[in-house]
Amino acid sequence: MNLLFSTFLALFGVAGCVGPHSEEPTPVHSSNVPAEAPARWPVTIGCDPVIPELVCARFLDAATQDQQHFIRSGVGQSPDVRVGLSGERRVGTWTLALAAPFFTLDSNSSLASVRSAWSGEAGGKISGHGLQVDSELVSLLTALWGAPAASVQAGDVAQLLEASFEKDAWTLVSFDQLHPHWKVLEIDGQSPMRRNLDPSYGLHFALNAVSDDRADALAYLPTDWSNRDESQMTIVALTGVTAITRGMSRLIERKGVDYPAKDVADLLSSADFTHISNEVSFLSDCPRPHPRKTMRFCSHDSYIKVLEQVGADIIELTGNHNNDYGTDAFLRTLKMYEERGWKWFGGGKDRESSKKPATIEHGPHRLAFLGCNAVGGSAISKEKKPGARPCVERADFEDLLADVRRLRSEGWLPIVTVQYWEKYQYFPMKRQRSQFEELADAGAVVVSGSQAHQPQGFGLRGASFIHYGPGNLFFDQMQTLGTRQEFVDMLVFYGGDLLGVDVHALLLEEYGKPRPANTQETHRLLRSVFKYSHRKSGLVPEDRD
């Protein structure tokens, strides 16, 4: 019995000693309790199937630059964070454009018309042209608008560009995939080719992110990623002849120096840089008003306010009249430009400086402006005389071509203007066209004829844009419809290249006051110049003369 009792105490004694007044057992130290696992980084990120591969790849490139927080999900792997059309956090926007062949009269459409064409319904401007779409975008638009009609053609961007000219088709394409041979159409009055695009633009599509179990990761994603980043955009307003003299002088003296530019100042100053081809030097004692019947031109000092009002930044000096009142007036005018921080090109204080390009670095763009005078005479610079850079002789022109090639090889985008022989006609001369094309082939992204008092046609060559003459901007030539018609070419650069040209038509009134042309006036001008315009693609050898 004693042995059994001893065994019982050995087995149960500890438990039996615990009573209501016994001490609490010592708690286990907290370091021995498993803590909540720290968040796992980086998390995987991928896209829903409706997001086009191009869009997904570009966004993931941006997101995974934050290597601490994100890596791409593997093939067949379910990502921790998914990017799609809906979700908890907006991460960016993909912007499309509706593009037509450059030689198109229409300048606008509506979202309703685009969607009708997508679904195959009749009506709207697009119905007469047919709709194309970048094949990369089909899944996105199908998710948003439903399946496309059989009439909607899909292909890669290069194919669509050629087909748009062959079939006169309109094309839905990502904004950053545009080409200078396309004309971008407004959608309900808004154009992605202009700054401060309203968020309600009909071809903006939001990208959103969602996560089932790693919502904490969403805070590390961008919120404003886009294929249309305005910090990557540069807009240059390229204009025609300015000569603030003669009849325009009389207009200013009657109605004030603010009057001539009042209808176009907003347009011109909306550009990042505004080019003015000013053919006339300023004088403090220039007659006010200037005589009506004279070909010897000057502008009163006070008239420089017209250029200030339109936001002038870059002055072209290739004109035929800058030395009309002598070289001192020319040099004094350069000083006035310098005081305002304006750059100039195509002319200078001597021959050497006349060849110097005006260069601008803005965002990813390095722009170099060059110009020359093909007419000759007293306007031309000499070794120690101010004036325009000459390109009268072939040797001078070859010198200009060499400068274009050199600048392009150094990473600049050359914009070249030529004061050619004046012809009051919508079509360029044969030699003019040949030389402008040579400049484009040498590497000029833009070639423009600054001589034209009457607008001339366009040339599309490879990735270059040629305008044989925009016409007047500020001058007094009211004698014909042709001299009253005008163009302003808004050159839109994006991501390091020329993306396209947003062309605006103007009409001159009151011997010196341009205004935006209405639709009928614009179409009349476009018909006149398109008749003498041409295209040579960088993709096919045929010239569409």
Looking at the predicted structure, is the pLDDT value of residue 18 above 70? no
H or E stretch including 165?
Answer: helix 157-167
Average pLDDT over residues 327-336: 98
For residue 323, give every residue at least 6 positions away whose Cβ sits within 8 Å of its Cβ, in sequence order, or none.
281, 329, 330, 378, 379, 386, 387
How does residue 128 score in pLDDT terms, banded at 50, 70 and 90?
confident
Looking at the predicted structure, is the pLDDT value of residue 71 above 60? yes
Rounded to whole angstroms, the Cα distance separating 276 from 315 reads: 5
Q: Which residue has the higher pLDDT, 8 or 262?
A: 262
Rounded to whole angstroms, the Cα distance separating 220 from 472 reads: 53
Give how far Cα 306 sits from Cα of 235, 242, 258, 299, 544, Å: 21, 10, 7, 11, 40
| Mean pLDDT for the chain overall | 91
Q: What 8-state DSSP symbol labels residue 127?
A: G
Q: Which CATH architecture has domain 231-536?
A: 4-Layer Sandwich (3.60)
Q: What pLDDT is recorded for position 5?
A: 38
Looking at the predicted structure, is the pLDDT value of residue 537 above 90? no
Q: What 8-state DSSP symbol labels residue 260?
A: T
How does residue 37 score in pLDDT terms, banded at 50, 70 and 90?
low
Average pLDDT over residues 382-405: 98
Q: What percent of the chain has pLDDT over 90?
A: 87
Q: What pLDDT is recorded for position 36?
A: 53
Tokens of 176: 């950053």
Rounded to whole angstroms, the Cα distance separating 257 from 262 reads: 10
298, 281 contact by CB (below 8 A): yes
Rounded to whole angstroms, the Cα distance separating 316 from 319 reads: 8
Looking at the predicted structure, is the pLDDT value of residue 25 above 80? no
Grouping H, G, I as helix, E, B as strand and the rest as coil, residue 529 is helix
Instruction: Return phi, psi of residue 321, to 5°.
Output: -120, 5
Q: What pLDDT is recorded for position 9?
A: 35
Average pLDDT over residues 307-331: 97
Average pLDDT over residues 126-142: 93
Q: For residue 431, give the amino acid letter.
A: R
Q: What pLDDT is recorded for position 292?
A: 79
Average pLDDT over residues 201-219: 96
Nearest to 104 by CA among 542, 481, 448, 460: 460
Q: What pLDDT is recorded for position 126?
A: 86
Average pLDDT over residues 308-320: 98
Q: What pLDDT is recorded for position 352?
A: 98
Looking at the predicted structure, is the pLDDT value of residue 265 above 70? yes
Looking at the predicted structure, is the pLDDT value of residue 363 above 50? yes
pTM over 0.75: yes
Q: Encode pLDDT of 83-126 as tens digits.
A: 999 999 999 999 999 999 999 999 999 999 999 999 998 777 78
Looking at the predicted structure, is the pLDDT value of residue 2 above 50? no
Q: Encode pLDDT of 178-193 as tens digits.
A: 999 999 999 999 999 9
Q: Which residue has the higher pLDDT, 454 or 31?
A: 454
Q: What pLDDT is recorded for position 540?
A: 30
How does residue 20 score in pLDDT terms, banded at 50, 70 and 90?
very low
426, 325 contact by CB (below 8 A): no
What DSSP assignment string belongs to 112-165?
A: HHHHHHHHT---SGGGGT-EEEEGGGHHHHHHHH-SPPTT-EEE-HHHHHHHHH
401, 407 contact by CB (below 8 A): no
Looking at the predicted structure, is the pLDDT value of residue 509 above 80? yes
532, 153 contact by CB (below 8 A): no
Looking at the predicted structure, is the pLDDT value of residue 324 above 90? yes
Average pLDDT over residues 272-285: 97
